[in-house]
């Protein structure tokens, strides 16, 4: 779900959408966000982490951290450099909430 959402164009319609298609679309790079050197002994380390970066200027980056907890799953989205709009973030949140309605999604 994260990969599918990340690969959809960031810009939806209007002149911006035409600009993106004129340049052949944006590239998306997936990576594992850098962990703390103490994450191996930190009981609060995420169960799973993934990041993506779009080839915008400046680049837009979004990280997703997942914790499997006794009372459910907690998912946190963060944009280390800012710049990820709420409507873009929502296309990540909606599919996850549809599949796992008990999860708690947070934005940092």
Which one-letter DSSP state was computed for residue 83?
A: -
Percent helix, strand and coil across the chain, each to the nearest 5: 25, 30, 45
Higher pLDDT, 77 or 27: 77
**Integer Cα distance of 61 and 69 in angstroms:** 26
Strands 72-78 and 104-107: parallel
Average pLDDT over residues 43-59: 85
pLDDT in tens, 75-102: 999 888 777 778 878 888 888 888 888 8
> What is the pLDDT, as a whole number, of residue 71?
84
The pLDDT confidence band at residue 17, using thresholds 50, 70 and 90, is very low
């Amino acid at each position: 779900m994260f990969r599918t959402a990340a690969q959809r164009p960031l810009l939806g319609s209007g002149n911006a959408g035409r600009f993106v298609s004129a340049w052949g679309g944006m590239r998306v790079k997936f990576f594992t966000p850098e962990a703390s050197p103490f994450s191996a002994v930190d009981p609060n380390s995420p169960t799973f982490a993934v990041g993506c970066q779009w080839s915008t200027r400046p680049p837009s980056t979004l990280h997703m951290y997942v914790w499997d907890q006794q009372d459910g799953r907690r998912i946190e989205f963060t944009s280390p450099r800012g710049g990820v709009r709420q409507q873009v973030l929502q296309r990540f949140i909606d599919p996850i909430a549809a599949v796992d309605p008990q999860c708690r999604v947070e934005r940092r």
